[in-house]
Chains A and B, each alone.
Chain A
């Protein structure tokens, strides 16, 4: 990447203090989209195990049913559901942006807000069904 005629550069200024950097809303949607994706990647074996157990035998089904009755398991599942719903809604927003719909700054900020306005109530609805 360096040219033979380049002058020696001073080290470039760099600011990586995450606690001080203020991210705009679309930025939050973006990093949460990535984090939720990574979290779901790690959770795939868990989900597969639940499916394997519950679909395998009637006893396995009962085991899973008992597990899902535990409050902290429900909480973890609700968290995973939020990750999924956020990833899903943010993904729809990205597909729209890929098609060049709503790419101006004002629309992009509004759609970023919409991702939360849709995913959070849906998560609460799903959680309510879980904890019912």
Chain B
């Protein structure tokens, strides 16, 4: 197995870039959602449900959620790395963060695919 690099130059570049890429994608979805809401102006259950019922909107929303997971993971990991020095505590918080995000992802799948 190729030696994984975890220190020195280039380590972290993927996450750095991934955080920026997901940021741009999420910004685009935000504009899209705002436009959809301004055009459709949902006021009752049917119209609100109608916003998210087209397949393309479900796909866009779930893509947004996927981006959010990665983006939030990198952000929270940076926070733990910056402030939590004891390794065992940091590891626990990182695992907790991942579980939290994965649970949210699965809940989102349920909401938009039910």
A38 to B79: give the CA distance in the assembly, Å.
Answer: 9
A127 to B56: give the CA distance in the assembly, Å.
Answer: 30
B44-81 vs A, Cβ < 8 Å mask (1 yes, 0 no) = 11001100100000000000000010001001100100
Number of A-B residue pairs at CB separation under 8 A: 52
A46-89 vs B, Cβ < 8 Å mask (1 yes, 0 no) = 00100110111110011000000000000000000000000010
Which secondary structure characterizes the binding site on chain B?
helix
Complex interface residues of chain A between 27 and 45 (CB less than 8 A to chain B): 34, 37-38, 40-41, 44-45
B104 touching A48 by the CB < 8 A rule?
Answer: yes
Q: Using CB atoms, name the residue of chain B closest to A45.
A: B104
Q: Using CB atoms, name the residue of chain B closest to A47.
A: B104
- Note all chain B residues with C-beta closer than 8 A to A45: 104, 107
Number of B residues with CB within 8 Å of any CB on chain A:
24
Q: Using CB atoms, name the residue of chain B closest to A37.
A: B75
Number of A residues with CB within 8 Å of any CB on chain B:
22
Q: State how many angstroms separate the Cβ of B54 from the closest Cβ of chain A.
A: 13
B23 touching A41 by the CB < 8 A rule?
Answer: no
B1-33 vs A, Cβ < 8 Å mask (1 yes, 0 no) = 000000000000000000010011001001000
Q: State how many angstroms separate the Cβ of A45 from the closest Cβ of chain B.
A: 6
- Note all chain B residues with C-beta closer than 8 A to A52: 107, 110-111
B75 touching A41 by the CB < 8 A rule?
Answer: yes
Q: Using CB atoms, name the residue of chain B closest to A33.
A: B75
Q: Is A124 an interface residue (CB 8 A)?
A: no
- Residues on B lying within 8 angstroms of A by beta carbon are 20, 23-24, 27, 30, 44-45, 48-49, 52, 68, 72, 75-76, 79, 97, 100-101, 104, 107-108, 110-111, 114
